[in-house]
Amino acid sequence: MHGVLEMCVLALLDDGPLHAYGIVQRLHDHGFENASYGSIYPLTTRLRKQGLVDQRLELSASGPARNVLAINAQGRAALATWTGLWHQTSQAVTAVLASHEIARTVETHAG
């Protein structure tokens, strides 16, 4: 499952730039209830250091300036690669689980 949250953050940023609060909120909206600033801040720092996202300071009329993250071309390429790997992995997992369920059903009816 390594890299799943990174892939999801890149996908969210591919929809448009966000600040950390926005990323956490969007992850919560999609069912990542355990996503927090404590997990997102180091993750976005890694993505930035890997050259996958850019950060800029955005002024706010209602408060302090905020750091906004945006995916860049290298991040989009990484997202495309990770998405392909995710689809392959999820298909393999689905096949294994389906095979397991069929075997359990046969064992239940035979025994």
Question: What pLDDT does residue 45 have?
Answer: 96
Instruction: Please check the confidence at residue 58 and state whether its pLDDT lies above 60.
Output: yes
Nearest to 81 by CA among 91, 92, 89, 69: 89
CATH assignment of 4-110, among 2.40.50.140, 1.10.10.10, 1.20.120.1200, 3.40.50.10420: 1.10.10.10
pTM: 0.83
pLDDT at 105: 74
Question: How far is it, in rounded angstroms, from Cα 47 to Cα 66?
Answer: 18
The closest alpha carbon to 4, from 27, 38, 25, 20, belongs to: 27
